[in-house]
């Protein structure tokens, strides 16, 4: 990975982007992409779009969501302890003892309290309402005007390099996707492409998925590709008979199932063979649980696909991905888009021009 791209990825991973308050992240994404895109757009949901070849009637939308799971302040007791609710699918068991940042009027560091094992330890059945955060305050009054109900709370955990070109960080789901769609714009900037490309860093995927719906409703793409992460199954305790065989370092993953347009998948499969990029597969027989679910039902319906990065330890503070997978996914998307011609027939049955 080139030095500037690696630095941009690290900057994104170190930037808090709680689902519902992604503005700081989106500004950094926009400042990077504007150097390569023909046009930048924003919208009411908080999406940022980088556009190439905007005059083409045939449009391809790439959506990588910016937001990360987090907590949100629900109550502050008289002693200054902070209680929270979920914003996205965050697991309270994994929060115990972790360091956090409360994103109030200013960033306040804190620790998630945990009863010591010597004194009975935490509950076996832990609910999010059992979680409390200690910022060192002596009283509720001390936090008045600094921390309020509705402020977001994120893990105060950055990233580290691991062996074999792997990295660990919070929020790899799905800051990596947002990074990937930005890099696709960069690499396609000076290429001869037959279609318009709309790379979108979407918001709120972890909660309400309104970003994807807003983006597709405005752009009205012919093809929409959700760029997200998926469950690797290459570590202890995973049942491959149930969850499939997906390994980090073994290439990007495409989804198979009812939500997915087979003709778009064929482009990926054929391009991967041409470029000698290994592909992995996952099943999404019904909903995908990603932006793809909203993208495909906008307007008259959109030919939608899902390309994912294999990821270990989903929705934990220490997610793990492989940098080679990221680069291979970028390359596959770039080459696939170059192979898309605006006269392609995306219908599973019949000719393109048939009503």
Residue 132 burial (CB count, 10 A): 18
- Angle at which helices 172-188 and 323-339 cross, to 10°: 40
> In a 3-state reduction of DSSP, which class is residue 10?
helix
| Long-range Cβ contact pairs of 5-12 (< 8 A, separation 24 or more) | 5/183, 5/186, 8/32, 8/179, 8/182, 9/176, 9/179, 9/326, 10/159, 12/175, 12/178, 12/179
Tokens representing 110 are 């804190």
**DSSP-assigned letters across all residues of 237-268:** T--HHHH----TTS--EEEESTTS-HHHHHHH
| Rounded Cα distance, 238 and 232, in Å | 9
Active site residue 205: yes
Please, what sign has the CA dihedral across residues 124, 129, 133, 139?
A: negative
Catalytic residue among 205, 206, 319, 331: 205
- Nearest to 226, CA basis, from 187, 246, 253, 245: 253
Sheet holding 159-161, edge to edge: 159-161, 166-169, 319-322
CA dihedral 138, 139, 145, 146 (to 10 degrees): 40
CA distance 340 to 344: 7
The answer, yes or no, to whether the previous bond of 82 is cis (omega within 30 of 0) is: no
Beta bridge partners of 94: none
Nearest to 65 by CA among 289, 287, 248, 320: 289
Q: Which residues are catalytic?
A: 205
């Amino acid at each position: 990975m080139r030095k500037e791209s690696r630095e941009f990825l690290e900057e994104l991973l170190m930037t808090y982007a709680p689902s519902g308050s992604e503005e700081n992240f989106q500004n950094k994404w926009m400042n990077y992409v504007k150097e390569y895109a023909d046009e930048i757009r924003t919208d009411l949901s908080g999406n940022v779009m980088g556009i190439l070849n905007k005059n083409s009637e045939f449009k391809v939308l790439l959506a990588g969501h910016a937001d990360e799971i987090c907590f949100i302040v629900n109550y502050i007791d008289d002693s200054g302890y902070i209680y929270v609710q979920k914003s996205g699918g965050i697991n309270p068991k994994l929060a115990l003892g972790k360091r956090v940042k409360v994103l109030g009027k200013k960033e306040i560091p804190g620790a998630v309290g945990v009863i010591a094992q010597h004194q009975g330890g935490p509950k076996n059945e832990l609910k999010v309402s059992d979680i409390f955060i200690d910022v060192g305050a002596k009283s509720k009054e001390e936090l008045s005007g600094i921390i309020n109900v509705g402020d977001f709370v994120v893990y105060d955990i950055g990233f580290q390099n691991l062996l074999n070109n792997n990295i660990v960080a919070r929020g790899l789901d799905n800051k990596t996707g947002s990074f990937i769609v930005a890099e696709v714009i960069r690499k396609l900037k000076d290429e001869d492409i037959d279609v318009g490309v709309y790379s979108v860093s979407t918001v709120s995927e972890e909660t309400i998925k309104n970003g994807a719906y807003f983006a597709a409703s405005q752009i009205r793409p012919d093809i929409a590709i959700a760029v997200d992460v998926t469950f690797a199954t290459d570590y202890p305790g995973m049942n491959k008979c149930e969850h499939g065989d997906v390994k980090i370092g073994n290439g990007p993953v495409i989804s198979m199932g009812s939500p997915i347009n087979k003709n778009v998948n064929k482009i990926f499969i054929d391009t991967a063979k041409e470029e000698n990029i290994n592909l992995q597969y996952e099943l999404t027989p019904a909903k995908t649980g990603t932006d793809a679910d909203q993208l495909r039902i906008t307007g008259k319906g959109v030919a939608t696909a899902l390309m994912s990065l294999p990821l270990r330890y989903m929705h934990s503070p220490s997610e793990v991905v492989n940098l080679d997978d990221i680069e291979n996914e970028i390359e596959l998307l770039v080459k696939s888009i170059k192979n898309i011609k605006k006269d392609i027939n995306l219908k599973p049955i019949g000719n393109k021009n048939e009503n």
